[in-house]
Amino acid sequence: MLIDWFTVGAQAINFLVLVWLLKRFLYQPILHAIDERERRIAAELADAAAKQAAAQTERESFEHKNQAFDEQRATLFSQAVDEAKTERQRLLGEARQAADALAAQRAESLRSEAKQLNQAILLRTQHEVFLIARKALSDLAGADLEERMVQRFISRLSAMDVAALSVFADALTTASDPACIRSAFELRESARAALTQAIHSTFGVPPKIRFETTPELLGGIELTANGQKIAWDIADYLASLEQGVGELLNAKGQPAATPATAPASTPAP
């Protein structure tokens, strides 16, 4: 007999026990582990999706912030450029004004300096001219400058026209104060006597004369009486010299004045 019924029963029981044991030790733990893992993966995926969504939101937020920041930066930059431009214009204007003022001051100073120099040159020239003339006259003709000047004044008196003579004669006679002879140098007695003599003979009245020394008189002699004046000096001679020196100073001062104004007029970069 191929079938042993005791064995059949025992095997059926064995199989059912095996089913229970495997369910207990194999299927349930394995399925539980798989379910647990799937739950975990699902949770992680959900978490990752949530994080991704959050990251996306954050990214959009950052992009917006970045955009706003860029716009703000561009605005601020533009403002700064405008302000810098305005400030630059203002500073350039101030610098130009300062340069103009400096140039004007310098030109004024130069003018003043030239004027002083001119005056000094004039006085020095006068002095030198007298020295030269005196020495030349002494060396060449054995003559005295002051004497020659007195003679020149006397000859001028005699060369006056009649109308002028009568006007001055009236002045001499009507004057309450004595007539005044001013000279740049101290007149010697002989010269004073010659002058008094010449005035007497020219105007026909005995004059009352007062002698004064005035260095500013440019080496000349003048006779004043009651508001009338007759004069001779070397101013005419010096006038041409003064003009030449003035032109020379102008020619030297012009190039010096030009660079002072140049920076102000140069367009700024």
Report the residue number, 36 or 177, with the smaller CB distance to another protein: 36
The answer to the question of residue 43 lying near another protein (CB under 8 A) is no
Q: How far is the CB of 49 from another protein (least distance, A)?
A: 18
Mark the segment that binds another protein (CB under 8 A) among 16-24, 161-169, 188-196, 213-221: 16-24
The answer to the question of residue 45 lying near another protein (CB under 8 A) is no
The answer to the question of residue 48 lying near another protein (CB under 8 A) is no
Mark the segment that binds another protein (CB under 8 A) among 23-31, 176-184, 197-205, 208-216: 23-31
Mark the segment that binds another protein (CB under 8 A) among 13-21, 55-63, 66-74, 146-154: 13-21
Parallel, antiparallel, or unpaired: how do β-strands 209-213 and 228-232 relate? unpaired
Residues 109 and 159: their CA atoms lie apart, in Å, by 46
Residue 157 amino acid letter: L
**What long-range pairs does 224-229 form, CB within 8 A, spacing at least 24?**
224/179, 224/180, 224/182, 225/168, 225/171, 225/172, 225/175, 225/179, 225/180, 226/171, 226/172, 226/174, 226/175, 226/177, 227/171, 228/167, 228/168, 228/171
Q: How far is the CB of 45 from another protein (least distance, A)?
A: 12
Answer for which of 16, 50, 120, 239 binds another protein (CB under 8 A) is 16
Q: Which residue has the tokens 């101290």?
A: 186
Residues 117 and 249: their CA atoms lie apart, in Å, by 9
Report the residue number, 41 or 239, with the smaller CB distance to another protein: 41
The answer to the question of residue 73 lying near another protein (CB under 8 A) is no
Q: 218: closest CA among 249, 185, 266?
A: 185
Q: How far is the CB of 53 from another protein (least distance, A)?
A: 23
What radius of gyration, in Å, describes the C-alpha atoms of the chain?
Answer: 61
Counting residues that bind another protein (by CB under 8 A) gives 34
Mark the segment that binds another protein (CB under 8 A) among 24-32, 68-76, 148-156, 194-202: 24-32
Residues 268 and 210: their CA atoms lie apart, in Å, by 69
Mark the segment that binds another protein (CB under 8 A) among 12-20, 56-64, 146-154, 252-260: 12-20
- Of 94-113, binders to another protein (CB under 8 A) are none
Cβ–Cβ < 8 Å for 157, 194: no
Strand partners, 203: none
Where along the sequence are the contacts to another protein (CB under 8 A)? Answer: 2-12, 14-23, 25-27, 29-34, 36-37, 40-41
